[in-house]
A and B are shown apart, each in its own frame.
Chain A
Amino acid sequence: MMNSPSNPTPKARRPIDRWRWTGRLFLVLMLLYTAVPMIWMLLTSIKSGFAALQFPPQWWPDEPTLASYQKLLDPTNSVGRDFLRFFWNSLFVSTVTTILAVIVAVPAAYAFSRFDFPGRKFLFFAVLLRNMFPAVIFLVPLFILMRLLGLVNTHGSLILTYLTFGLPLAIWLLKGFYDNIPIQLEQAARIDGATRFQAFILVVMPLSVPGIIATAIYSFIGAWNEYIFAYTFINRNDQLTLPVGIQRFFSENTTDFPGLMAASFMMSLPVVVLFLLLQRYFVKALTEGAVKH
């Protein structure tokens, strides 16, 4: 009876515990790995320029100050004016990209999920094909294309590029979502008196809201953080987006580390806030939509 499965001996239990603790240790290390740079960014942003360069470094500043934030948010000086403009540019490019991505991805995913048209499989493969190559190899061809179209130094070049990279996953994610919505719901709606379009708007759309939100977050974050294409396509100061703008403007003369960190912190804010507000939809979409039951 000592070794019956319902009454395990301490000896039999020990290896399981050891793995559990190894797992926890791994998670703690991962947490430190991701959180420490964030904390360091935050702490440096409230230091004075002198304190930021001290060695050995000060963890908690002797005289914490919000001076860097004040400077960045003050449109009357040139630093603040530039920062606010970059922030606005990023917000504009990311928001337009997100709206267009949703507008295109929703009907595209729905069509791939519901309609049987000639070339459906090929087209879906073609959409996913983009994601099989690293983005950088498109850098030069896209630059040449943008120059031909006269889009260099415009936000249009960035919006088009981000859509190219964001749409395949968005369409794939949403298609998985629509695949899981029984077609009988639409059929029932159409018999109950709805047109095909009304059935989509009134019955299918509300059910795919988590998928649409996940698609939107994904597109927004992708556009918001993108650096290499923005760096290549834009070189007019008033058109720069935040990732490139921050870098350029702080390395011109001397590096103002607290200012750089304050700008970085403010840049990460919209993404963090967005993610915290909508994360349950995001998780739901990734587990329910894309993964087949």
Chain B
Amino acid sequence: MAHVVLTDLVKTYGTFKAVNNVSLRVEDGEFVALVGPSGCGKTTTLNLVAGLVPLTSGDITIGDRIVNDIDPKDRDIAMVFQNYALYPQKSVYKNLAFPLQMRKLPRDEIDLKVKEAARVLDMTHLLERKPRELSGGQQQRVALGRALVRDPAVFLMDEPLSNLDAKLRVQMRSEIKRFHQDLKATIIYVTHDQLEAVTMADKMAVMNGGFLQQYDSPATVFANPVNMFVASFIGSPAMSLVPLEVSTNNGDTALSGTEGWSMALSPLNARKVQNSTSKKVVLGARHSTIKLHKHVIAGGIPAKVYTVEPTGDVTFVQALLSGATVNISVPPTVSVAPDETVWLEFDQQRIHLFDGETEMALSAA
């Protein structure tokens, strides 16, 4: 296993910059998820690490070696593809043996390793089958096996679960996580599903528009998103973002909505707001941090209910506030009707404040 360092990675197609100065370090044995919406550059970044597309500028280091101009076959990597890319004309056995044959291992050693990988992944009985005779889950397992037999320095995975049905996806998610824990493998994992990234990865690199937005542990990214994009992309349902104006209330800094109400701020939040480049500030809050009251309370902000979505465990209420939609979760016992007026209470400790112009998180410093 080895660490991977990306330094100022750039990939352009004509005038289009698919990857823009991406730098990050993956420690030995770490599971890093590259996550972002489609077209954000995450797959291109992975293909750059694999050597499948040529680099425009920057450096890629695997272990202690700069691999910029090294062929994929000599980078000591293994890759699992979204469509599995199993060789259709070869049996499962030959699919697993192929990377070893290409490395000219002796036949009895190949046999040993293939059978060991098949045993680990519980597919010894499938070895003579052709890929088309396997179910989606089994194919995905063969693809994992083909990466595993080689014992490479780094595993690259490109949306390996997105072709599976929902139930199987959850099951394979825990299998891959287990596989990482057992092997202490260095894994770079591309996904558009933030839930996969949050549940599996040690660190997540959130990308958008070819830029790396934030690179940190899922807990930190979730608790302290650096900008509005990360805030709205990570977490489900998404964080509610409400555009507000900075105002002064009896000499204290406050935020006011288009409906005319104003919200007092804690001293820390007031200092953050004073750092904004303009009078526009966006308030961010996750559904579980907002309290919903059916009757007027001190400091409560009135909002009109738009829809109510019971899911069983919790009920999600969407309310309209200052031209934005706010998501609130309430126990299923609370009954709320559309168009009803409710009062929202925001937790000053857990709200997020963003600069309305730059979209960056505001800090108190």
- B-contacting residues of A (Cβ < 8 Å)? 182, 184-185, 187-195, 198, 203, 206-207
Contact = CB atoms under 8 A, between A and B. Distances in A.
Contacts of B81: 184, 187-188
A194 B73 contact: yes
B89 A207 contact: yes
Most buried by B among A192, A195, A203: A192
Contacts of B83: 182, 184
A207 B78 CA distance: 23
Given A188-B79, A190-B51, A191-B72, 5 more contacts: A187-B79, A187-B81, A188-B85, A191-B75, A192-B146
Nearest to B98: A192
Most buried by B among A185, A187, A207: A187
Nearest to A184: B85
Interface in B158-201: none
B102 A192 contact: yes
A189 B94 CA distance: 13
Interface string B216-234: 0000000000000000000
Contacts of B244: none
A191 B327 CA distance: 45
25 contacts: A182-B83, A182-B85, A185-B85, A185-B87, A185-B88, A187-B52, A187-B72, A188-B81, A188-B146, A189-B87, A190-B71, A190-B72, A190-B73, A191-B73, A191-B75, A191-B78, A192-B78, A192-B102, A192-B150, A193-B99, A193-B103, A194-B73, A195-B73, A203-B87, A207-B89
B50 A191 contact: yes
Contacts of A184: 81-83, 85
Most buried by A among B75, B78, B79, B82: B79
Interface string B22-37: 0000000000000000
Main SS at interface, chain B: loop
A247 to B, nearest CB: 46
A187 B73 CA distance: 10
Contacts of B102: 192-194, 198
B319 interface: no
Nearest to B75: A191
A162 B207 CA distance: 54
A12 to B, nearest CB: 40
Most buried by A among B50, B77, B82, B87: B87
Nearest to A206: B89
Contacts of B72: 187, 190-191
A187 B87 contact: no
B101 to A, nearest CB: 8
A184 B80 CA distance: 10
A193 B77 CA distance: 10
A250 to B, nearest CB: 49
A188 B84 CA distance: 9
Contacts of B89: 206-207
Nearest to A203: B87
A255 to B, nearest CB: 53
A115 to B, nearest CB: 13
Interface of B: 50-52, 71-73, 75, 77-79, 81-83, 85, 87-89, 98-99, 102-103, 146, 150
Contacts of B71: 190, 195
A190 B71 CA distance: 8
Contacts of A192: 73, 78, 98-99, 102, 146, 150
Nearest to B47: A187
Enumerate the 3 nearest inter-chain pairs by beta-carbon distance, A residue then B residue, closest first.
A193-B102, A192-B99, A184-B85
A194 B103 CA distance: 9
Contacts of A193: 73, 99, 102-103
A132 B77 CA distance: 48
Contacts of B88: 185, 207
A80 B75 CA distance: 65
Contact of B50 (A182, A185, A187, A207): A187
B292 to A, nearest CB: 48
Nearest to B156: A191
B85 A187 contact: yes
A190 B102 CA distance: 10
B87 A190 contact: no
Contacts of A206: 89
A187 B50 CA distance: 9
Nearest to A196: B71
A181 to B, nearest CB: 9
Contacts of B150: 192
Nearest to B77: A191
A28 B145 CA distance: 55
Contacts of B98: 189, 192
Nearest to A193: B102
A184 B82 CA distance: 9
Contacts of A190: 51-52, 71-73
A184 B87 CA distance: 10
A192 B85 CA distance: 12
A182 B98 CA distance: 18
Nearest to B99: A192
Nearest to B82: A184
Contacts of B87: 185, 188-189, 203
A191 B98 CA distance: 11
A188 B87 CA distance: 9
B259 to A, nearest CB: 53
Contacts of A195: 71, 73
Contacts of A203: 87
A191 B79 CA distance: 7
A270 B87 CA distance: 35
A266 to B, nearest CB: 37
A185 B86 CA distance: 7
A198 B104 CA distance: 14
Nearest to B13: A116
